[in-house]
């Protein structure tokens, strides 16, 4: 009998921030998954997503029983519910609620930061000047991260890596890649996320497999991406 496992459809790892959020719950918590690819900005992208059972965007996940999850937050909730002993969310009820709230806020917010600084794990940029709207998003991140990091003392928001950290991983990449101004505590957290073995593995695979997408170029001098 064939082994039934999860399947995930992702975009290019170097650039697809939502794919990273969809895959990290598997990669960071040792939940087996088979990875399939749909090339963003290619003619066949939407057809590939539809053939998988998704709708216009990546990530999408097929569960071992054939269910379909078409959104990163649905993937997170499904896996937290299905693998309650894997530590995807903090066990303390107050911390758990806080983690869930942060995930939801990340999913629906930080629009200025997301649009001004597209995730690009292949290169960093010198001289990026954040707008007031981006600075306001960074101030909100400082407020969100400050209390849990002060309590846990790191390295992650609630001590051990959880889904909340997975959802902030692309933000960490943006802070590092665009040299955005953050506090020493936030910078230590960014470094911890980028140093996580699952995040490293994701970036390495993208560096190996992806082709540069010119649309992500900034009109700024390039720097090596600052992996810790
Ligand atoms: N809300 C979705 C967002 C997914 C999303 O926007 N994915 C991007 C890639 S990072 C995408 O597929 N873009 C292609 C398109 O929209 O045509 C989620 O959380 O999964």
Query: Over the stretch 150-189, which tens digit does the pLDDT of each residue have?
Result: 999 999 999 999 999 999 999 999 999 999 999 999 999 9
- Residues 155/193/36/80 CA torsion (nearest 10 deg): 30
Mean pLDDT, the chain, rounded, equals 97
Burial 105-133 (b: 16+ CB within 10 A, else e): ebeeebebbbebbbbbbbbbbeebebeee
CA angle 21, 167, 207 (to 5 degrees): 45
Question: Is any ligand 1 atom within 6 A of the Cβ of residue 71?
Answer: yes
In this structure, what are the phi and psi dihedrals at residue 58, rounded to the nearest 5 degrees?
-110, 150
Q: Percent of the chain, pLDDT > 70? A: 99
Dist. CA 126–CA 97, nearest whole Å: 38
User: For residue 103, what pLDDT is reported?
Assistant: 98
1: confidence class by pLDDT, cuts 50, 70, 90 = very low
Per residue in 65-104, pLDDT (tens digit) is: 999 999 999 999 999 999 999 999 999 999 999 999 999 9
Distance (angstroms) between ligand 1 centre and the Cα of 173 equals 17
Would the pLDDT of 225 be above 70?
Answer: yes
pLDDT of residue 134: 98
Q: How large is the average pLDDT for residues 132-160?
A: 98
Tell me the mean pLDDT in the region 185-207. 98
145 alpha carbon to ligand 1 midpoint, in Å?
A: 25
Q: Which domains does the chain have, with CATH numbers?
A: 6-82 (3.40.30.10), 93-200 (1.20.1050.10)
Dist. CA 190–CA 184, nearest whole Å: 10
pLDDT at 128 over 90: yes
Spatial strand order of the sheet with 6-10 comes to 33-37, 6-10, 60-62, 68-69
Q: Is 223 helix (H, G, I), strand (E, B) or coil?
A: strand
Choose the residue to mutate in 11, 45, 57, 170 for probing ligand 1, maximizing ligand atoms within 8 Å of C-beta: 57
> Which of 125, 99, 131, 127 has the alpha carbon at shortest distance from 113?
131
Residues shown for the chain: 228
Predicted local confidence at residue 3, as pLDDT: 58
The answer on pLDDT for 228 being more than 70 is yes
Measured CA to CA, the distance from residue 147 to residue 131 in angstroms comes to 25
Give the number of other Cβ atoms within 10 Å of residue 21's Cβ. Answer: 24
pLDDT of the residue at 4 = 82
């Amino acid at each position: 009998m064939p082994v039934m496992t999860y399947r995930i459809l992702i975009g290019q790892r170097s650039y697809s921030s939502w794919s990273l959020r969809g895959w990290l719950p598997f990669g960071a918590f040792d939940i087996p998954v088979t990875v399939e690819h749909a090339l963003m900005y290619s003619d066949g992208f939407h057809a590939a997503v539809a053939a998988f059972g998704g709708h216009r965007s990546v990530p999408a996940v097929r569960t071992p029983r054939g269910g379909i999850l078409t959104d990163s937050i649905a993937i997170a909730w499904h896996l937290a519910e299905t693998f309650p002993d894997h530590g995807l969310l903090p066990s303390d009820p107050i911390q758990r609620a806080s983690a869930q709230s942060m995930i939801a806020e990340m999913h629906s917010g930080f629009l200025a930061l997301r649009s001004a600084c597209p995730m690009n794990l292949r290169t960093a940029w010198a001289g990026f000047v954040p707008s007031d709207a981006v600075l306001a998003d960074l101030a909100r991140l400082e407020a969100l991260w400050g209390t849990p990091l002060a309590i846990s003392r790191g390295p992650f928001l609630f001590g051990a890596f959880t889904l909340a950290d997975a959802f902030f991983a692309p933000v960490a990449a943006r802070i590092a890649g665009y040299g955005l101004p953050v506090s020493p505590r936030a910078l230590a957290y960014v470094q911890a996320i980028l140093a996580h073995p699952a995040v490293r593995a994701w970036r390495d695979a993208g560096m190996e497999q992806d082709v540069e997408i010119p649309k992500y170029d900034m009109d700024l001098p390039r720097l090596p991406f600052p992996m810790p």
